[in-house]
Structure formats: structure tokens, C-alpha cells
Structure 1
């Protein structure tokens, strides 16, 4: 390295800055709840240091050095090294990566190396720089670094604004820098748990080294030490002193990834720092960054870096009403390579809503709305009398190449809805990102993932509510009747906010180690589900009608029986009247009145009374079941049949659960009861088109298999591998009974425990489920854990993990955050613990079926089965519609795709087994 003047290297001890910043400031959080007091303090201190240095003699080289992990080569020398150090404060841990981001945002090298402490990295750079004739300033007050001081190396304590040379080291240790390690070897260090020699402090050590020259000479002449106790300790603990010297001696030969040249100071990017400051909501630092960087106050260039959310009060929303303007926006989107897209429609049901307009945004604060089907009033066709807007066909013809261009990324919020709307117009959007799913991957369990909530949380923006432009109640209009000025602001704002959220959230995925989860489990799902929803499933209206009639007749018979048992007629659907009959008139025990003064007649209450042998509550339960089936399914499903397709098109929610499971709405097809024959009857109404059959492919006991793998339960793993009856095996292990000739009731009890354990079932819950005394139920659970202690270990380990890091993970890395696990409320905490135990199991099962769904279409296509349609996903089951002559070919492909869904990422200890059945109806397919 050539030199024209003496170079000056500054090495900042990042760890020292972190803890000083943390303890100096009170707690601070961002809008999303992330603690940032240490981040703020660190950033402020580092900015001040850089500014002060630039105001003086600016350094030629500068870097910030961090500890990569607690373990270093010193732990291999002495396993008790730093063993006394407490874990960092809980609210400091999530700030560590943000602090490193702060360094990079200031365009400074951020250096750490696994297996080496920051002090060793500093020592190595110092040694290299000293050899090249540099001056070196180490920004730290750490005494361990004082051994590096010489005529050209000094320490700088920025808190006290004190620079420490050889004289300061002499004052502290009583020896020069070259003898510091000898003194430390004798005196030890309680902070780092360096043992030293008992009975010898710093002053005594300094005197001994001054008298003998160095540690080895002292130890060699220890017999001549006059003080008896000191002499005995030096002799007895000589090896301990030598070990201590190895522990305190800094390594000067760390294999660095970044050469000294890489630490050369260069002009920072103020836009990058502004983006970081804005993302962490450090408003008090914003003006300093703008002033220091020479930025204009309106220059939100930091918002365009893609690293953080943009903050701007200035918006430019355009209503596009001619092709020239539309072509300009399309060209801008192509040049940028990424465009946020949103659609406005006449309703929320993606299968019946009509497209009204499209909005686009490329940069923060700028967006457009392209109205396509607005009307001036009810019933007015767009024949020239309506608002000025581009011809819909022409606009869509221009937009289609952009929205299908593989070189342009489309970004949406809950983009599945937009995919469906645009699919109606013959547009297949690809590729795309979804901000809702980015948030879901990052923060599942912390908060919701709707745009309004995300905008408030991350951008401090409250989006315009729909009612503000369309009205409320009876006066609310569909969006095609909203005036264009209001429609433009509302629609363009949605696209603008979506783009901002994407630029904030997407970069966080790799930083959090969650990009693979997003890419492999989430990103492709909107397209798969959009096609499933579009296919829908055929429903036999007449079958539903017949079931409704049958349920009504049976309800009538039950009603008569209930009235006879009560000795009078009353409204069975009225909890108040039912409670009066049960507890006042009949005098049954267990009645409890609520705040309204009425008795509770919940299912739990009635089930308890029925278990005691009372007929009336038992009949009421039967009546309620039929009433729910009739109103929720056999009646309501008839209204859900699409008038044009004759099929029901449910909507699958990707971010509606905390475990990765899909939810089904409008209508909910996942909650159709299957434990009773009446519930299963409803599945008879779900049928295949003529010449086709429905195929149901169901993972067999997938959650138990996942539990056996995660907990490492050898007995269960072996049983699954051998294809044995897992519930019979469990009963045999727990109740010590042979499998052959087993009482079905015993197997049923084991089955209830097997599935209940996954959901954290209690003795009370199991007792209710099996209709046995609570003491017996608790004894069964205790016996289960005694036989399978690995499961109890898994549960305790998972709860501890959730408490320690705030989340649990599936085998594929999906995270579920568990903030309530530290709640002071016992009920909240207990619920969170059960959820933490269940989430990795149920979540892994959900991930497996997602992986199967994402691969299914390609697998079927490769087998020449493109016409096979995947229709529904219900818990662990996939439903397909297949031509009758292709069923036998399709089932092996479906089964293999589902059973190999883990490959090549995960090698489960147990095999996945998929049961397949086919029939004219969903009922027959089982």
C-alpha cells in the first residue's frame, strides 16, 4: 500500500457502543413494537463520532467491529471463560441486527467473524496497520485492548472524550502496555471469569511483574517469594496463571475476510442513511441526516433505496383517462421493473365482482388510477353520458402485456383477489409478490396483515376508509358509482401504500432468514388457490334441499319430544326459556346465571347434564346440531351456488391462521362436521360433473407423524415405519395391554390422548371427551407421558424456546410469534403455551400440504393429466375432479406428490402416507 501521508485507522468497538447506548436510554419502540432504544443510541453515537472526526483530522480508514457469537477459541481452552456473564437483556436481542444495519446504512464496514472476539479482530487490524506505518485509534475504553497501545496506537473513550496512551495504561495497571497481559494473567478478571492466581490483585501483580520482568520469570522464581501464602499460590496455580495469560492475550493473526484496504473511508450515501432512520422512525435524527448529507427536505431519495419504508406527506395521484397517459405509466413501470397493482371492483366476492378500475404505483408518493367502468348514476350505461375514461377493452389490451411480462414484478396486497378479477378479463398476472404474505412470514402471531393495519404500523399512515368515498349503510354505493376524484385518491393510495410496504418488508425477509419460507411456501400459493377457487366444486341443489327437509322433519319430532319432557311448549332456541325449564322448573343441578340474570345453557352445560342421564338436555343437543346443519349448510349452501357455474366457489385465506393452515370463507367448507352421520350426509351434495369422479387424498395421521419425528419418540417412529395401528400401539404402551384382541374402548381412549396431546389437552378436557372421571383422565395423561417422556421433553423445550426467543418454528422454518407467553395473566399465558406447543406440529403439517399443492399441477402436467382439477383443500385433505377414465392414472401421481412433499428439504423419520378414495360425491370418496 503506497502512502503519501500517514494513514489513520479508527476501529470502533461496536459491542461497547451497544451496551452503553442500551443502558443510557429508556425503553423505546417502533410502531410495530420492536425495541429500538439501543439502536437509536448507537446510531446517534456513531453519527456524532463520524461528524466529530470529519470536523478534525478525518480518518483514512474506519470500521466497526462486533462479536459474532459467545463462543470463541478461548472457550475451548477454558470452558468457564465468560461463564458468569448474564444473557443480554431480552429487549436488546432483537436490536443486534438493526444495529448492524445502522453501520451499513452509514456506509461503514461492519465486521465480525465466527469463533473470534471483536478484540481479536481489532488486534489483528491494529497489528497490520502498525506494520504499514499507520496511526491507529481504537474507540473503546475496554482494558483488554490496552495491551495494544504504543506510540502510534491509542484508545479513545468517546463518553469521557479521553484519549489514552501508554501513560494512561501505566496509571491503570502499574506497567506499560507490553506487560498488561502478564498483570492480567496474575490478577485474573471476574467479569470474563479469567481465574488468575488467588490472592493476587492488580497492584500486587504489577509489583511482581516489575520485580521479575515477566510472568514466566516470576513463576520460575516463585520459590523465592518471601510472603508464604503468595509463594504457595504462585506455585500451586502456576498452570492456571499460564492459562489465564492465553485467555487475555489478544490474537493478532485472525484470518480476516476484509483486507485493510476495504476499510478505506469513502463518501457515505445520505439517502441510504435517511432510509434507515425513517424505517426505524427516528424523527429527531432525520433533520441531521438531511443537513449532513446536503439533501433537500423534500428529497425523499432515501425512500427509493428499497431498504426501508418511505415517509412523505407529498402525493401525486393521477387519474388516467387517455391512452397517451396510460402508455406513459406502462413505460415507467417497465423501466422500473417493479410496479404495485391494485384493482377496484363492484364487490368483495371475487367470483361475482366486476372490474371497475386499475391503479399503479412505481415510486413512493406517485400513483395513478385508471377508471374503466364508472357510471354517473344507477342504471346509466357508459354510452358517452358517463365519466370520461378510457375504453375498457383498449386499456386492458395495453395493460395485459405489462401484467404478464416476466421481466416486470407486480406487487399486490392480498394479490389473490386481484389475480381472480384480472383472470376474468383474460389476464394471467405473473410474476408477483404479496405484501400481505411478506408480513405474514415476518410477523405471524404478532398482528394482522391487512393493508390498513400494516400501513398504520409500518408507515404511520391511515388509509382512506372505503366508507369515506362510497358512503355507509343503505346509502353506500358500489365503486363504479364513486366520483372519479374520490375514486382516484382512494385507489391510487392503495397502490402507493402497497408499493411502500413492499419496499419495507421484502428486504427484511433475507435479514430475518425467512426468504426461503416466503419463496417456497407462500409466494406461489395465491396463483394455485386462485385457480382452485375459479374451478369451484359442483353442488347438487336438490340434494341439499332434500337434506334440509329431512333435518326439518327430525327437528320437528325432537321439538315435540322436548316439549313433552318439559311438560310445556317453549322456544327451544331461547337460552333464557330453556334455562328456566331446566333449572327452575325441573330443578336440575349446575345452573349458573350470568350478568343478564339468565342461566347459561352452553353446550358444555348441556353435555354435563346429558352425561348425568337427563334426557331433555340430550335431546336439546340433538336439536341444536340439526338446526346448525340446516341453517349453516343445507340452507345457506344453496344461496352460495354460483348462478352461472352451478358450483360453489369458496375463498381460501392464506394469512388467517397463526400456523400456516388455510382458512375457508364464503362459504366455509372446512368446518362441515364429519364426526356425526348427519354431518357426513352433507358431503353427499358435493358431486362431480357427469363423466367425472371426485378423488379425496388425505394425509394419514400427519400431525402424529410430525410429533413422533420432532419429539424423537422411537416407539411411535417404529410403529409408523412398520405401518402399525398407531392408536392400538399407544394403548398397548400406555395401558399395558396386548394389541391382539384389544377392547375398542381402550383404543378409543388412546386415540383421544394421541390427538389431544397435540392441542395441549387437560385432564378436564379429556374427561369430558371420553365421559370418564377427571382423575382417571389425568391418570391416563400421566401414564402417557411416563411411557413417552420424549413428548413431555418436546413440550417443555418448545415452551422454553418460545419464552426465550419469542417465537417457535416449523421444520421448514416458518415462525409463529408468541408474545402472550410472557403475559402476567395466567389464562393468556396458558393459552399461549398450548399454542406454542401446537404451532410447530400443525404448522409443519400445513407446510407439507402447501408444498404438495405447489408441486401438484406440474406433477399432473408432466404425467399428461392437465385436465385434472384440484378443487379444495380441507385440513389434511385435497379434493380433485377427474374424468372417470383417468382416475386410476391420476391417483398414483397425486399420492406420490403428496407423500414426497418434504423432499429434498426434510428427511422425516417417519413415512408420509396418503389415503385416496374416489366416488361420484365427496361422501363416496371417503
Structure 2
């Protein structure tokens, strides 16, 4: 057994590395003496928890002054000791421990999430309640190092800096961010061991500091168990994962390569040899007479997607706007870039990250945004275009199951109507009217056009997302003058929104530019963007409507069917024979009332592929031909299309 000693924040600490099976006896004696919270952490081989049977390397346990490292890669005795410790210890704490380390011990130590999560606290969650912003946005930052520097010791050693040097010495080009480095470093390397020990010592001290800070700031206590519940639910979804159709995915990869090459050749005709070269794109578009006002931080013209889409006369859903002649180069660049991004970001990840059971396990970040909104990474499944089915077609329900999507109806506007007490909007919702039709009628009159409806919709959602006239003009193709007139008419139709915004901004200034959501979540505002208070309040409250729905679904026994929370939607895999009954139960669980406004959800039943839910005609009806050709269930049983999807 090797012993290490040091000092952190002026307080001495000691740590022990178990090297031989006989070292596990004093470790277990120490475990049995613990009565309070013990910090826990793991070290693995990169990030591939589910694809490597030898993923788990170290398990660390510690208090504010002591740490033990158990190298589970040394064999069954060490794995058993770590598992026994996790079962014996009455209370655990760690940083980002529920989603990452919880899944690791579930997979590799047979400690199920159902046993691990209820007795574990996560300092990532408490950090986000104190300040949800990352450092680049003016916050503390949610990482363990940033949190420790703020609340424990500004000079807390960053052992990852030392690990970077070690990784570079192991093999040229390897850094702490390169997963291979975690394979090559010896399990008993002193810097690696100290790094692992300090993580649990810092984690143990951090929870105490967080509790003190949350009391000072008046963080609503009920949010802590609530957020731990969200992490547990999402960890269970991540553990279930989603089945990949390997044949379709490989074929799609080939199609995307062809598409990338096709549009790359078109771009080359206009002088853009590399569609990712900003300088080439700027020069070529300027030569075609394009002008734009958006600049990057360095002062160069921006060639971001939201700048190129209007040049190609496309909206955010890649549908023609009809405002101008599409620039063929901008169109080619966008499509070549998208094909390349989809191939590397989705197809390659699906095929590269699939486990032995043919599944991928996306990481669900339950507190990703400042407002608390969730995100899905590895791959980023929540960023797929809303109307596209091709990538989603790669992912399948369980055998004998179909995919069901349950989506809130106009959730942001309903939340806004309730929070700001918007009388006309509440009346329209109660009458079952389409809110965008209703608004267009108020703004443009009963004879409004399809284009005017789109303008009314974009302006209304701009109130929620905090976007202005220029953004709305890009998305609709309408002149800025018309957008501004529409915005003024919108304010006259719904005066309560502007009144609420002014009131909320005043309240935030009185509270140090911090506003609070309907559930009491602290939401820091940027002083230069206090107007974003509407966005923050609405987005955060909408997220917690989804969170409440998840609790309702679990109480109804639906969690085993749930696969992903995506924005304002829950995706589920349900038995085909019970699909209608289970979809109705999901609808019941996701229907509620918020400040007198009904929150409704609509389920859609698809085939076996996620993509089947998006295979629709221009009129929004299920595309029978596409479904029969592309979805594995409907290829075998085409007569089920009408039965499951309600097609006429």
C-alpha cells in the first residue's frame, strides 16, 4: 500500500493506494467506519463507458482529509472491494457523479443506478443552482477545478496540467483530452494517483461549501432533490440507449459522402475549393455581389449558417422563403457542409460508439443551458432539423416495439401566456385555437396570408427567444420595416407581455440582475441584455414543465419506455400491441395546468424507426410510400401504416 500526503487550503490530507489484495482489508475497515457522506469518483479509459469491457480503471473514495484509490483494473478482488464499498457506504457525493460515474459502476461493477442514485448527491447539480453560467459567460464555471478554486482554495492544484505533460510523454500528440492517453498511463503513476485522490477530497469539501452558499443566496431547497431526480431518470434512459440500424446507417454514410462531393464540386465552380475555408467563401460571395452586415469578433464577414441560409433563400427548416433568388454558391456550401457534418457527427458516431448489444447511449445533460434546459450529446440528437427523417431513421425501437413521440403543444407561448397573464392569448388557448393563426388574424386581419402567418409566428417566438427584427427578417424574408410594424402590432395585441418584461427587468435589477423562474430557479442576467428576462423565465419554466411531466410519467410506470427528452418532447419505445394505450397514458401524464393555462401534449405513433415519425407529405400526412420503403416494420407489414399512424 502506497501512502501520499499533502495540504489543500491549509488543511492536511492523506491518501492511500491499494496495490495488493491484502491492502483491501484496511480499506474496507475504513469504509465500515464511515457514517457521513463519502465522496466517490472513477477513472476510466476515455469516455466509452459502454463499448469497452475494460473501461473502468480506478475507483476513489474520500472525505475532506482522506482518500483511498482502488485500482479495479487489477482484477476481481479489487472490483469486488469497490462494489462492496458502494453498497456499504450510507451516503455518497461526487461531481457529475450521477450520469457519468453512476453509469460506469452500473455497467462495470453491477451496482445498479436504482441503488446508487438515491443515496448520491451531485455537486454539479448544486453548482448549477448557485450559478448556471459557464466562465465564458461571466459565471464561475461548472467544472470541479473552477468550483474548487472559487469555494475551497484559489490555489487548488490543477493536477490535469501535470497529466497533460505525462500524456505527451507517453505518445506524441496525446493530451488530456485525447482518450488514448487514459489507456497508456500506468495505474500507479504518482500524478495520476494524486489527481484521482484530490478529486474526491475536493468533492467532499465542495458539497459543504455549496450548502453554505445556497443558504446565503436563498436557493430554493426543493430544487435540489428535484434536479437529482432528473439526473437519475435521464441516466436510466441513457443506460437503455437506442438501437442502431447498421445497414441503413452505413448506406446513409455513403449517400452523404456523395452529396458532399456533389455540392463540393458545385462550390468549386465558383472558386471555393474548400467549403470550410471562410476566406474562400467570403471572396467568392463578394464576387457574386453579396453584401452582409454580420461580422465576426475579428471584424471579418460572418459565414455562419444563419447568415448563409437567407442568401440561399432558405429558412431554419431549409424550406424556401421566396424572398429572393437563391444564391447557388451559398446553397452548395450549406449542403456540402451539412452532409460532411452529418457524416462525422452522426453516422460515424453511431457506428463507432455502438456497444456489443448494437446500441448507442447518448449523454443527457440535464442542466446544460443557463435556463436549465437539457441537451443531448454524443451525438447531439436534439440539434437535428425538425423536419428531417434521414438521421433519425438510423435509430430503432426495441424488437416488437414502435416509436412514440409525445410533444407539448406550443409550450413556450402557453407558458408565456400564463406567466404574463396575457388575456387574449389565454382566451384563444382555452378556445382551442391555433395561436399563430389567432395572432396573424389580430395583426393582419381575417384575410391573412400564409406568409403573414409565418411572420406572426416568428415575431411571437422572437418574444420568447429574445430575438429582434433583423433575425425575424432573415427567417421570413420580410423587410425589416414590415417586421417592426408587425412587432408593434403584436405589442398592441398583447400589451401584457411588454408590461411583464418591464416589471421582470426591474425586479431583476433590484436582485443584482438575477431573475427567478416559476419554480424559483436563480437565473442570472447579463447587464447588457436585461431584456432577455422573458426568454429566461419562459424557457426555464417550460423546461420544468417537462421535468414535472417526467415525474408524472415515472409515477405511472412509463420510465422503462422512455428513451430521450428532446426539447419539449419525450421519445419512447413501446410494445406495438399496446401503443395506443401507452401513448394515451403519456398524454395524460403530460397534460397539466400552469397559471390557469392548459398545457397539452399530443402523441404520435410511428413505426420501428425514429425517422418514421417524420416521414410525411407536404400536407403533414404520413407518407405511405416512404414509410413502406424505408421503415423496417412497415417494409414487413405495410398494412400497419394506417393502423398505427392513423393514415386515411
TM-score tier after normalising by the smaller chain length: 0.7 to 0.9
How far off its partner does 1:443 sit? 1.8
CA contact (8 A) 1:449 1:655 kept: no
DSSP-derived class of the 1:481 partner:
coil
Instruction: Give me the whole-angstrom Cα distance separating, in 2, the residues matched to 1:597 and 1:802.
Output: 33
Match of 1:325 among 26, 30, 54: 26
Instruction: Give me the whole-angstrom Cα distance separating, in 1, the residues matched to 2:57 and 2:226.
Output: 32
Match of 1:726 among 427, 435, 444: 435
How far off its partner does 1:628 sit? 4.4
Task: Name the CA shift for 1:493/1:750 in 2 (closer, same or farther; >3 Å).
Answer: same
Match of 2:50 among 321, 329, 351: 351
Match of 1:455 among 148, 156, 169: 148
| 1:814-848 deviation line (CA, Å, top 9, x unaligned) | 11112x31xxxxxxx1xx32432211100001111
Mapping for residues 679-690 of structure 1, pairs under 5 Å: 679-690=388-399
Mapping for residues 269-284 of structure 1, pairs under 5 Å: none
CA contact (8 A) 1:517 1:813 kept: no
Q: Does 1:911 align with 2:598?
A: yes
DSSP-derived class of the 2:613 partner:
coil
Higher RCO by CA contacts (8 Å cutoff, separation 6 or greater): 2
Mapping for residues 172-211 of structure 1, pairs under 5 Å: none
Instruction: Give me the whole-angstrom Cα distance separating, in 2, the residues matched to 1:593 and 1:845.
Output: 32
Task: Name the CA shift for 1:434/1:610 in 2 (closer, same or farther; >3 Å).
Answer: closer
Match of 2:590 among 898, 902, 912: 898
| 1:571-603 deviation line (CA, Å, top 9, x unaligned) | 44433333333334x455559998999865444
Q: Does 1:921 align with 2:633?
A: no
DSSP-derived class of the 2:590 partner:
helix
DSSP-derived class of the 2:221 partner:
helix
CA contact (8 A) 1:340 1:496 kept: yes
Query: Residue 812 of structure 1 aligns with which residue?
Result: 519
Query: Residue 781 of structure 1 aligns with which residue?
Result: 487
Mapping for residues 261-660 of structure 1, pairs under 5 Å: 311-321=9-19, 322-333=23-34, 336-352=35-51, 354-362=55-63, 364-374=64-74, 391-403=77-89, 408-416=90-98, 417-424=100-107, 425-428=109-112, 429=116, 430-445=118-133, 446-460=139-153, 461-469=155-163, 471-473=166-168, 475=171, 477-478=181-182, 481-483=186-188, 485-562=190-267, 566=270, 570-584=273-287, 586-588=288-290, 601-603=303-305, 606-607=308-309, 609-610=311-312, 612-613=324-325, 615-624=327-336, 626-660=338-372
How far off its partner does 1:751 sit? 1.2
Instruction: Give me the whole-angstrom Cα distance separating, in 2, the residues matched to 1:599 and 1:912.
Output: 43
Q: Does 1:706 align with 2:393?
A: no
Instruction: Give me the whole-angstrom Cα distance separating, in 2, the residues matched to 1:589 and 1:533.
Output: 45
Unaligned runs of 5+ in 1: 1-299, 301-309, 375-381, 383-389, 822-828
CA contact (8 A) 1:342 1:359 kept: yes
Across the aligned residues of Structure 1 and Structure 2, the Cα RMSD in angstroms comes to 2.9
CA contact (8 A) 2:40 2:60 kept: yes
DSSP-derived class of the 2:69 partner:
strand
Instruction: Give me the whole-angstrom Cα distance separating, in 2, the residues matched to 1:839 and 1:879.
Output: 25
Task: Name the CA shift for 1:625/1:723 in 2 (closer, same or farther; >3 Å).
Answer: farther
Query: Residue 833 of structure 1 aligns with which residue?
Result: 530
How far off its partner does 1:857 sit? 2.5
DSSP-derived class of the 1:923 partner:
helix
Task: Name the CA shift for 1:312/1:650 in 2 (closer, same or farther; >3 Å).
Answer: same
TM-score by length of structure 1 reads: 0.57
TM-score by length of structure 2 reads: 0.81
Unaligned runs of 5+ in 2: 1-6, 134-138, 175-180, 314-323, 615-648
Instruction: Give me the whole-angstrom Cα distance separating, in 2, the residues matched to 1:598 and 1:498.
Output: 43
Mapping for residues 66-215 of structure 1, pairs under 5 Å: none
Task: Name the CA shift for 1:472/1:911 in 2 (closer, same or farther; >3 Å).
Answer: same
How far off its partner does 1:735 sit? 1.9
**Stretch deviating more after TM superposition (345-354 or 643-652):** 345-354
Query: Residue 854 of structure 1 aligns with which residue?
Result: 551
Match of 2:568 among 832, 852, 876: 876
Instruction: Give me the whole-angstrom Cα distance separating, in 2, the residues matched to 1:607 and 1:647.
Output: 34
How far off its partner does 1:509 sit? 3.4
Instruction: Give me the whole-angstrom Cα distance separating, in 1, the residues matched to 2:584 and 2:197.
Output: 48
Aligned residue pairs total: 568
Task: Name the CA shift for 1:467/1:727 in 2 (closer, same or farther; >3 Å).
Answer: same
Instruction: Give me the whole-angstrom Cα distance separating, in 2, the residues matched to 1:507 and 1:596.
Output: 42
